[in-house]
A and B are shown apart, each in its own frame.
Chain A
Amino acid sequence: MPRESDLPKIVAVNTDEGEPGTFKDREIVEQDPHQVIEGVLIAAYAIGASRAYVYIRGEFFLGVKRWIKAIADAYEAGFLGKDILGSGFNLDMSVHRGAGAYICGEETAMLESLEGKRGEPRQKPPYPASVGLFGLPTLVQNIETLACIPHIIQRGPSWFAGIGTAESKGPKIFSISGHVNRPGNYELPLGISLSDIIFGYAGGIPGGRHLKAVIPGGASTPFLRGDQVNVPMSFEGLAEAGSALGTGGIIVMDESTCIVEAVRRLSKFFAHESCGHCTPCRIGSWRIYEILERVEKGEGHSGDIDLLLDLVDGIDGHTYCPMGSALVNPVRSAIQHFRPEFEYHLTHKSCLVNGVK
C-alpha cells in the first residue's frame, strides 16, 4: 500500500471460495462473521481505509444472509459507520454477491466484478495495492487471513508465530473431503503431518480400503501418491514433496478411484471456468478435457499421453493469470504418478479400477 498516496483506500474481502475441495471460508462466514468484521476494522484502521467491500460467492446463500446480518449488527452496536466508538475513525462495509464464476476469486477479477464488469483478471502490474477497486489503493485479503487478525492483536504476534513451523507460521483450516470417515474442516497448526489429518482427525479410509492418492491443497495443486502422505502440511514441506499447500483443501481418493476419471472431472472444471481471455487457457484447457474424455471412455489415441504432456507444457506459465496454469498441476502429476492407469485405458479400452467403462 503506497504511503505517499492521498487517494481514499479500500479493503476488499475475498469470500469467493470456489476451489474444488475447499470449504473453509464458508464455515467461517456462516459460523463467525463477527471476528472477520473485527479483522476488517483493524486492517482498515491500519491502512486508513474508510470503505470495505465484501465479495462473497453467490451460491453461499446462508453465508450472504449471515454476512448481511453481522454487518447490520455491527452498525447497530456502533462498530461500523461514522466515528466508531468515539475514535473519529469511520468505516462503511457492504456485501456484494458473485454470479458464479470461479475466476472472480482471483483478486483482480474480483475487483472487476465488484465494479460491475465481466469477471476477468487485470494486467499486473499495477497491483491492487496501488491501483485497485475503482482505481483506488486496495487491500485484498481472504477472510481466513482477516479472521486471524483480532487474535493476533489480542495475543501478540509471537503467540501466532509460535504455532506452525519455522517457515509456515500460524494455524490453518484444512478442509478434508473424499474417501475419509469424518470429512470436514479442521483447524490445525501448519506443519502437521498429512497422514495425521487423514488417518487421525478424519478417521481414516472407509471400508478398510487403501489410500491411493491425495490432492493436498485444492484442485489446483499436484497429486500425491498414497505412499507420500507422511509429509508436513506446510508451504516448504509440500513443495519438497512436489505439491503445494494451496488452499489446504485435502481431497482423499482410495483404491476404488479411477485417476483418469478424477483428472477428467478436474479438467472439465478448469475448462468450464476458464474466462476465455487468453489462448492457452481458453483452448488448451478444453483440449485437455476433450483428450481425457476420450481416453477415459476408451476411445483414446495412441499418442494421447504425450499430447497431454505437450499441452501441459505449452500452457504452463504462458497464461494471462495463474488459474490458466493451475490445471497443469493435477494433469501433469497424475500422469507422473499413475501413468500405467492412463496406458491401461489406451490399450485395453477399459478402466483398470472399475473394469468396464
Chain B
Amino acid sequence: MGKVNFILDGKEIQAEKGDTILQAARRLGIYIPVLCDHPALPPEGACRICLVEIEGQRALHPSCTYPVSEGMVVETNTERIRAARKFNLELLVSDHPLDCMTCDATGDCLLQDLAYEYDVTEDRFEGTKHHYSVNDPNPFIQVDRNKCILCRRCVRACREVNGVEAISVFYRGFSAYIGFGADSSMDDSPCEFCGSCVEVCPTGALWPKQSLGQGRPWQVEKVRTTCPYCGVGCQLILEVKDNKIVKVDSAWEGPSNHGWTCVKGRFGYDFTSHADRLSHPRVRKYLLDGKKKPTASKRDPEKEANPWQWVEVDWETALGIAADRMRQIRDDHGPGSIGFLTSAKCLNEENYLMNKLARQVIGTNSIDHCARL
C-alpha cells in the first residue's frame, strides 16, 4: 500500500492509500464524531455526523466514505460543520424517546454523548415520534425500535461479519425500521443470537434482556477474561457488579475473536452464580473413609450414616483419591480397562496433557473427544 499526504485541520498527515478520511484520522488518534461508522464494519454513510469540509468542494462530505487523495485539504471542526452535525443530531433526537434517566444505555450511548457534546437540548420541530411496542419474544435481546437511529451497524454486523442476514431495513423514509427475517420476530428469523448486533448498537435499541436494570456502566467493574465454553478462546469483557456478572461484551483486541463471540459466550453466563453450581471438589463418604463401594441394599440412611453422601474436600484430597483409585483399577484389571474422554472446551495444551496421561501414565490408547460424539 502506498502513502498519501494530505492536510487535516492544518496539519500535514500521511495516510495509507485507500483510507477514508475517517480511517486516516482514526489511525492518528484524531477525533471525528460519528454514529453509523464502526471500525470493524464497512462504511455506511448514513448518519451524516462525520461530515467534513474539503477544500474546493461545495457540499460537506462524510469522512467515513470519502477516500483520501494526495494534497487534499480537510477541515473537521469548523462552525459550518458543527452546525450541520448539530442539525442531524437534532433530527435524530426529535424522533427519540428522551428517557435517558431510565435507559439502560445511559453512559454507554453514542447519541447521548454527541447530544451532550453538541448541546442538543430540545426538539424544536415539534413533530411526531414513533411509538413501537417493545415486545420481541426472543429470550436474549430486547429490541426497542424507538431508540433506533437506523445507523445500520446491526445490519452490517449480521450480514458482513456473520453472514447470517437476519437483520435488514424494512419500509422507507420515516417509516423505515430495523426488522428480522421476513419482518417477523428475532425468534422466527435466521438469527443465531450471537449478539454482535447488541455489541455494535450505539444506543439502547438492542440490549441484552438479562442485563436490563442490572447496573450502569460506571457501577460495574470490567474484567477481561477468556470464554470458558470452547477452545477458540474468545476474549470477553465481563461487566461485574457486586461480584455478579451483569453483562458480557466481546473484546475487540481478542486475537482469536476480534470483537465477536457466539450466543454461549455472550448470554450463557447465568451458571456462574447459580445455586446448583459446584465451587469445591466433593467425594463420596465411603471413598473418604477408605471403604469399598457399598451395595445398593446398604443405602439406608436410617440404619447408618449414608456412605454415598457427598463430602466437600480440598483439591489435594480429591485428586489423591482419584489417582489412587485409577492406579488400583489399572493394577487389578489392566490399562485397557480405563478410557479417557476429553473436551473441545479444553485448550490444545490441555488435550495434549490428557493424551499423555492416557497413553504414557496409564498406558491405554482409549482416549476420545466430545466433539466426535
A, B from the same assembly? yes
Name A residues whose Cβ lies closer than 8 Å to a Cβ of B: 101, 103, 118, 123, 125, 271-287, 290-291, 301, 307, 310-311, 314, 317-320
B320 at the interface (CB under 8 A from A): no
Interface of A is mostly: helix
Chain B residues whose CB sits within 8 angstroms of the CB of A276 once the complex forms: 150, 169, 171-176
Q: A318-B51, A320-B46 are in contact. Are A280 and B168 (CB under 8 A)?
A: no
- What DSSP secondary structure best describes chain B's contact surface? loop
| Complexed CA–CA distance, A249 and B242 (Å) | 68
Say whether A287 contacts B59, CB under 8 Å: no
- Please measure, in the bound complex, the distance between the C-alpha atom of A319 and the C-alpha atom of B60, giving whole angstroms: 9
Closest 10 CB pairs of A and B: A276-B176, A317-B59, A274-B173, A314-B87, A286-B174, A283-B91, A290-B127, A287-B125, A279-B88, A123-B65
Min CB gap B19→A, angstroms:
14
Q: Closest CB of chain B to A112's CB: distance in Å? A: 13
Residue B84, interface by CB 8 Å: yes
Q: With A118-B168, A273-B173 known to touch, is A279 a contact of B125 (CB < 8 Å)? A: no
- Cβ-defined contact, B88 with A280, below 8 A: yes
User: In the bound complex, do residue B174 and residue A317 qualify as a contact, i.e. CB atoms below 8 Å apart?
Assistant: no
Tell me which of A125, A274, A282, A317 has the highest count of chain B C-beta atoms within 10 A of its own C-beta.
A282
| Contact call B172/A101, Cβ cutoff below 8 A | yes
User: How far apart are the CA atoms of A319 and B48 in the complex, in Å?
Assistant: 7
Q: Which residues of B contact A123 (CB under 8 A)?
A: 43, 45, 65
B58 interfacial by beta-carbon distance below 8 Å: yes
Which B residues are closer than 8 A to A by beta carbons? 43, 45-49, 51, 58-60, 65, 67, 83-84, 87-88, 91-92, 94-95, 124-128, 149-150, 168-169, 171-176
Interchain CB contact (< 8 A) of B173 among A125, A275, A301, A314: A275
A-chain residues with CB within 8 Å of residue B126 when the two chains form the complex: 301
A111 to chain B, nearest CB (A): 17
Please name the residue on chain A nearest to B176 by beta carbon. A276
- B174 and A274 contact, CB distance less than 8 A: yes
When distances are taken between beta carbons in the complex, the residues of chain A under 8 Å from B48 are 278-280, 318-320
Q: How close is A327's CB to chain B, nearest CB, in angstroms?
A: 11
* Distance of A302 Cα from B173 Cα, bound (Å): 27
User: Across the interface, which residues of A come within 8 angstroms of B60, CB to CB?
Assistant: 317-318
Report if A277-B127 is in contact (Cβ < 8 Å); known contacts: A314-B87, A317-B58.
no
Cβ–Cβ contact B169 & A278, under 8 A: no
Contact assessment for B46 and A277 in the assembled complex, using a CB-CB cutoff below 8 Å: yes
CA distance A103 to B173 in the complex (A): 11
Determine the chain A residues whose CB is within 8 A of the CB of B174 once the complex forms. Answer: 271, 274, 276, 282-283, 285-286
- Say how far B102's CB is from chain A's closest CB, in angstroms: 24
Asked if residues A320 and B168 are in contact (CB atoms below 8 Å), the reply is no
> Complex: how many Å from CA A284 to CA B173?
10
Residue ID in chain A nearest B65 by CB atoms: A123
Contact B91 A279 (CB under 8 A): yes
* Contact A318 B172, CB 8 Å, known A125-B67, A307-B124: no
Knowing A125-B67, A279-B92 touch, does A273 contact B87 (C-beta < 8 A)? Answer: no
Closest Cβ neighbor of B151 among chain A residues: A279
